[in-house]
Structure 1
Amino acid sequence: MTDSQNPRARTAGAKRQRLMAAAAQVVHQQGVERTTIADIARAADVPTGNVYYYFKTKDELVAAALAEHTRQLEIITGELDRLPDPRERLKRLVQGWVGQRELAARYGCPTGTLAAELDKRAEGGLDAEAGSVIRLLLDWVERQFREMGLPDPDELALTLVGAYQGMSLLTNALRDPEIMARQGARLTAWLDSL
């Protein structure tokens, strides 16, 4: 019997996925240091003792949160890749960021804030994993600029993703979601001008 035919394996996979999604959400809202395994278990609606079946340590849960960020980014970019025009893909990406402005005002960018927090830890190597999620976004954005035939697509990608990180940080620091809306409009106009 394959895992897809085994109800127990499907249930275990679903529980693991719930824990990963909960880890991403709770770590984003509370930060790594303030988050406990019990917080994640509660958010996933899983008994705390069951968490250790899937993840032995808090760092494994943080790595799971990063994996969930990667999965979400792949879903978003996969949906955007269905659009025929790379400029439209980038503009929709910006619209998606702006659509999350209330969340950004409260907690910042999920991956960016996590990367900054993990960079301050002395151990673990999770900071490099957070950087790899951001690298995936940069690579995808660079491909869009390359498809548009623009010179220096890597630099344009840094400009766009850097602008997002900056507007997300300012939106969060000033608790003002309209910063994200205004800067998103500027980025959209910039994309139209290229």
Structure 2
Amino acid sequence: MTDSAKPRTRAADKRRRLSAAAAQVLHKQGVERTTLADIAHAADVPVGNVYYYFKTKDELVSAALSEHGTHLDELTGSLDRLPDPRERLKALVEAWVGQRDTAARYGCPTGTLAVELDKRADGTLDAEAAVVIRRLLDWAGQQFRALGLPDPDDLAVTLVSAYQGMSLLASALRDPDIMTREGARLLHWLDSLEAPDRSP
């Protein structure tokens, strides 16, 4: 690596650390309670350096949403390696349940951020959160479509709505077992779905 490339690499690493820290801290504290200093501390970056990479807190919120989108793409990318679409959907539910303790404390990372951003009168960050959720809906819809099920996009809404609901209840009641129980119901529901018989 050349000497001139090293500063660029360090800068990219700091920006990445700040984005990842923003995603974590905003999930735990919410937008209004989080300061740039909180994110700088979590990223182990001097607070004065934050402004070099992100001019405003909204830019960091946008970076956090991008981080959530990246995590979603990594998850769905790994699920796409499973040969059967039903198994992909069930593995998604199991991944959600695997995060039950975090969900019980803070809710769904993207869902809680979307709700908070929707209450703000300014900006377009709520639309950015919607884009991440739409990607999940689209992916789930593709799986239901591959199974030959009718109304695949509606089934995707049912699945993602169930996840958001159980995350919200688990968080509100501080009860991770809600995720476990409702996840089991979702797995049973996925197993029960059958494509219509098209034989003459």
What's the TM-score once normalised by structure 1's chain length?
0.97
**Which residue is equivalent to 1:106?**
105
User: Cα RMSD (Å) of the superposition?
Assistant: 1.4
**Which residue is equivalent to 1:95?**
94
Whether 1:46 and 2:34 are equivalent positions in the alignment is no
Aligned equivalents of 2:82 and 2:9: distance in 1? 32
Aligned equivalents of 1:9 and 1:106: distance in 2? 37
**Which residue is equivalent to 2:77?**
78
Aligned equivalents of 1:144 and 1:11: distance in 2? 40
- Give how far 1:38 is off: 0.3
**Which residue is equivalent to 1:59?**
58
Aligned equivalents of 2:5 and 2:105: distance in 1? 41
CA deviation digits over 1:160-194, x for unaligned, max 9?
00000000000000000000000000000110111
Aligned equivalents of 2:19 and 2:72: distance in 1? 14
Runs of 4+ with deviation above 6 angstroms: none
Whether 1:171 and 2:170 are equivalent positions in the alignment is yes
Aligned equivalents of 2:100 and 2:156: distance in 1? 21
**Which residue is equivalent to 2:150?**
151
Aligned equivalents of 1:15 and 1:106: distance in 2? 28
Aligned equivalents of 1:148 and 1:43: distance in 2? 43
**Which residue is equivalent to 1:8?**
7
CA deviation digits over 1:35-89, x for unaligned, max 9?
0000000000000011111100000000000000001000000111111111000
- Give how far 1:14 is off: 1.3
- Sequence identity, in percent? 73
Question: Aligned AA for 1:157?
Answer: A
Aligned equivalents of 1:76 and 1:7: distance in 2? 31
Return 5+ residue gaps in structure 2 as ranges.
194-200
**Aligned length in residues:** 193
Aligned equivalents of 2:5 and 2:192: distance in 1? 53
